[in-house]
Copies of this chain bind each other. A is one copy, B any other.
Amino acid sequence: MNRRKIVKSLGAGGLASGVAAASSFPKPALSQGRQQWRLVTAWPANFPGLGTGANLLAELIGKMSDGRLTVEVFSAGEIVPAFEAMDAVGSGTAEMGHGAPYYWQGKVNAVAYVSAIPFGLTAQEQNAWFYFGDGQRLADKIYAEMGTKFFPSGNTGTQMGGWFNKEMNSLADYQGLKMRTPGLGGKVVAAAGGNVVNLPGGEIAAALQSGAIDAIEWVGPYNDLAFGLHQSAKYYYYPGWQEPGAVLDCFVNLAAWEGLSDDLKAIVEVANRAVNLAVLSEFAARNKESLEVLVNEHGVELRAFSDEILMGLGQLAGEVMNDDASKDPLSRELMDSILKFRATAVPYGGIAEQAVMAARMLPYEFAQPSGG
């Protein structure tokens, strides 16, 4: 499995005899120029949508390169804890990582803007910003400060507002609320009086069950059902104003990236694009089914945030981000770029996806599947 170590140990002392052996017993073509990478993730093993996204990335790279570059996936804690994946890749302990940008905001503040901004862009708009706006270039600037190359590598779509052990009737209900919610959304909740913590996925179900926290925002129905969060909190709020879309990241050690041939670079980049789409598609397919299970089988109470709460959070979000972005020029550059993109995206969304989704909800009689 660990061919690189074998190659290294050969290189340390046995090179001359190795060359002699090679000339009499030539290696088959497939074993030449192979390399194996380690991919450390911030996810529990095979976790739906997130861990399976990392698995797919490894699978596609191996298949497209015909095994010239194979990638071994490690879940959170196997080599390093979830939130140390970036350090491991930046330092070269692993060549590749998979997580969520705001997990690294303690290292570079601006990276939180790569994940999501509250009341900001949907997944579709975030991808437009990455591939046809300034997103890729700006994110690369941030990730270079951490010794890595960035790829968007999955998106959860619009998240849910979270699980609460009480009804949220006004903005004042955030006062003193102990809540797990990361990134800029967490800063908004803190500004509303909440007591905000961040915890990796693997620790949140226990924290909610023990009462160590009152509320939790994790992802959406598919992931929340997998963790059984409905067993510890009754009210499930929407919409996920804090993350209209939430970007997952793949980060590659800069030296490892530069060492790839052009075709392998293309394979790694295009595999990430495919994973970016696959993860979003998995969430879009599974969230809707999982929500039905939560509501119909587990009696979860679905609640909409009132316009009063959303107005208050929207106002706070603008203030919090203005303050936060003043910390450093890179954060400001990110926020300005996203806000500029958002300025035309919001009204256009209102006449495109949003308007057609509203038209689907009108009470005309529509076709039904036959026999069901």
Contact = CB atoms under 8 A, between A and B. Distances in A.
Given A128-B284, A273-B277, A274-B274, A358 B354 contact: yes
A189 interface: no
B304 A127 contact: no
A169 interface: no
Interface in A50-66: 60, 63-66
A354 B352 contact: no
A116 to B, nearest CB: 11
A213 interface: no
Interface string A291-331: 11000000000101101001110110111011001000000
Given A124-B124, A359-B119, A364-B314, A352 B287 contact: yes
Chain B CB within 10 A, most for which of A123, A340, A362: A362
Contacts of A285: 128-129, 131-133
Contacts of A27: none
Contacts of A314: 359, 362, 364, 366
Contact of A270 (B119, B274, B281): B274
Given A119-B359, A321-B367, A354-B358, A286 B132 contact: yes
Interface in A104-120: 119
Given A66-B263, A122-B356, A370 B332 contact: yes
Interface stretch (A36-44, A92-100, A343-351): A343-351
B263 A124 contact: no
A185 interface: no
A262 B66 contact: yes
Contacts of A65: 263
A361 interface: yes
A336 B286 contact: no
Given A131-B277, A131-B282, A273-B278, 12 more contacts: A66-B262, A122-B357, A124-B124, A128-B281, A132-B281, A220-B352, A270-B270, A314-B366, A315-B366, A340-B369, A343-B369, A354-B361
Interface of A: 60, 63-66, 119, 122-125, 127-133, 157-158, 160, 220, 238-241, 244, 261-263, 266-267, 270-271, 273-274, 276-278, 280-289, 291-292, 302, 304-305, 307, 310-312, 314-315, 317-319, 321-322, 325, 332, 335-336, 339-340, 343-372
